[in-house]
Amino acid sequence: MSKIDTVCIIDDDPAHVYITKKELKMSGLCETILVYNNGKEAYDRLIDICSNPENLPDLILLDLNMPIWDGWDFLDEFTKIKVEKEILIFIVTSSIDPNDFRRAESYERVSDFIVKPISASKLRVELGKLH
């Protein structure tokens, strides 16, 4: 599996963000990590950089339960945007609700559904399934 340039973490849980960043840095899996605390903040920032697709993330790790805009709100809006770059979206959540799994499958751009906690090895396995 090749190295990922940019990973975007959209999550309001500081402990999860800290652990995920640490795992990503230690693994050498990516060069750059963007972090946003809710779906609205992420959407606004990613829209700002859409005009320059190479600055967009290669992978988005998206939590579902967040304030302001949750992961579903983000997906509803972000998936409407035409993006020149393929962006993998992994839902990373503590939810084990089968309805969330089914709903995630309804989004064509969602590549995977991972139950927290995430580790670099788990991420490698999931990315490997896609190639």
Question: Model's pTM, two decimal places?
Answer: 0.90
Q: What is the pLDDT of residues 84-106, one digit of tens each?
A: 788 889 999 888 888 988 999 89
Confidence of residue 123 (pLDDT cuts 50, 70, 90): confident
Q: What is the mean pLDDT of the chain?
A: 87
pLDDT of residue 73: 96
Domain count, the chain: 1
Reading the block at residue 24, the tokens are 């990503």
Average pLDDT (74-92) is 89
Q: Is residue 125 domain-resident?
A: no
Q: 116, 92 in Cβ contact below 8 A? A: yes
pLDDT of residue 112: 84
Q: Is residue 109 domain-resident?
A: yes
Q: Is residue 128 domain-resident?
A: no
Q: Is residue 123 domain-resident?
A: no
Q: 79, 102 in Cβ contact below 8 A? A: no
Q: 96 phi and psi, to 5 degrees? A: -115, 15
- Helix H or strand E segment including 9: strand 4-10
- Helix H or strand E segment including 39: helix 39-49
Burial of 101 (0-12, 13-18, 19+ CB in 10 A): middle
Q: Is residue 130 domain-resident?
A: no
pLDDT of residue 64: 92
> Could you tell me the residue range of the domain that residue 67 belongs to?
4-118
Q: Which of 35-39, 63-67, 112-116 has the lowest mean pLDDT?
A: 112-116
Q: Is residue 92 domain-resident?
A: yes
Q: Is residue 129 domain-resident?
A: no
